[in-house]
Amino acid sequence: MTEPTHNTTDFGYKTVPAAEKVSLVANVFHSVAAKYDMMNDVMSLGIHRLWKRFTLDCSGVRPGQHVLDLAGGTGDIAALFSRRVGANGKVVLADINESMLNVGRDKLRDLGLINNIEFVQANAEALPFADNSFDIISIGFGLRNVTDKAAALKSMFRVLKPGGRLLVLEFSKPEQQWLSKVYDMYSFKLLPVMGQLIANDKESYQYLAESIRMHPDQETLKTMMAEAGFSEVSYHNLTGGIVALHRGFKF
Ligand code: SAM
């Protein structure tokens, strides 16, 4: 593992030219899109659904509001918001990856939920929306994959309405050492094997395990959100800190 410089960045434990990360991440999600939902349920024993529901509960979402679910992928979080904002509200599911968006669009159509959902292909670093557009922005398990996280957080701040809130749901650092050890064993021994068996793709799940370790921990992400302009930033650890939900406001 070498330290990334300003021209390089991390892709899991590899250091790569910053300009290449976006296509490497794209390959991962093109490859896993079709089996993504099934892998999530198997890998987390369904617990990812509780993490996502908790995100919704902390959003304070109300009927009629406008929500951006960024890096929305196959649409789990967008589906939860869609039901809450109702017919007078709107959910924009934005993702950089066409394959993930296609799986999401098909799934949400099957659930009868696309009337108040818009699908947009966009990079979190340069969001194609007007200033002050959304009441709520969520990004679930997406920020970790973004090359320039500071630029992405600034872009989210720009498109959030004053009074709005950002929710960042992401893998983080387990609070207890024993949990870290068990989790490391699981991530590096079991996860790539499961990825191979279920999605026929060991490398993408090896990347998942590595990218989680490279992602900023709870306090670092809190500081990054404050630096991007967010106020009253706080976080809540879930499943012992394996995942954390960060929340910040735009005032
Ligand atoms: N939010 C969904 C969920 O919680 O199930 C999907 C999460 S999936 C692990 C990560 C998503 O981030 C992928 O769909 C990927 O295409 C998207 N992504 C990665 N880099 C991105 C970027 N720079 N801008 C927008 N989306 C990005």
Q: Name 109's Cβ contacts closer than 8 Å, sequence gap at least 6.
A: none
Q: Look at residue 1 in the predicted model and tell me its pLDDT.
A: 54
Burial 139-152 (b: 16+ CB within 10 A, else e): bbbbbbbbbbbeeb
pTM of the model: 0.96
Find, among 147, 77, 144, 145, the residue nearest to 117 by Cα. 77
Write the residue with the smallest CA distance to atom 3 of ligand 1.
140
User: Tokens representing 248?
Assistant: 């910040």
Q: Is residue 108 within 8 Å of 115, Cβ to Cβ?
A: no
Domains of the chain by start residue, with CATH: 10-175+206-249 (3.40.50.150)
Q: What is the pLDDT at residue 4? A: 62
pLDDT of 199 reads 85
Give Cα 226 to chain centroid, integer Å. Answer: 18
| Sequential pLDDT tens for the chain (251 residues) | 555 666 899 999 999 999 999 999 999 999 999 999 999 999 999 999 999 999 999 999 999 999 999 999 999 999 999 999 999 999 999 999 999 999 999 999 999 998 899 999 999 999 999 999 999 999 999 999 999 999 999 999 999 999 999 999 999 999 999 999 999 999 999 999 999 998 899 999 999 999 999 999 999 999 999 999 999 999 999 999 999 999 999 99
Measured CA to CA, the distance from residue 139 to residue 157 in angstroms comes to: 13
The pLDDT, as a whole number, for residue 172 is 97
Which residues contact ligand 1 via a Cβ below 6 A? 25, 29, 71-74, 76-77, 95-97, 100, 123-125, 140-142, 145-146
- Cα 29 to middle of ligand 1, angstroms: 8
